[in-house]
Amino acid sequence: MTDLLEQAVAAARGLAPDRQDDIARIVLRIAEEARRPAALTAEDEASFAISRSQSARGEFATDDVVRAVWAKHGL
């Protein structure tokens, strides 16, 4: 647990029980959302299907293409 979260919990201890429950529900909702896998759009799914097909055929980017992409993004 981070120091900030520990501070928040300590501060919540001084609140009324109903407010503590409100905070608990919010934290639990955020934690649950963080555990869910990201939803993919139909466009994302199609892109992954193309990538998997290319991979199955052994079609990969050349080193030069990878370097160009990295350079474009300052890497």
28 and 48 share a domain?
Answer: no
Please give the Cα distance from 10 to 42 (Å, whole number): 44
At 10, is the pLDDT very low, low, confident or very high (cuts 50, 70, 90)?
Answer: very high
Same domain? 9 vs 29:
yes
Would you say 46 and 38 are in contact if contact means Cβ atoms under 8 Å apart?
no
Range of the domain at 47: 42-72
Instruction: Give me the pLDDT at residue 38, please.
Output: 87
Q: What share of the chain is helix, strand, coil (3-state, %, to 5)?
A: 75, 0, 25
Q: What is the pLDDT of residues 12-55, one digit of tens each?
A: 999 999 999 999 999 999 999 999 888 999 999 999 999 999 99
pLDDT of residue 24: 97
- 31 and 47, same structural domain? no
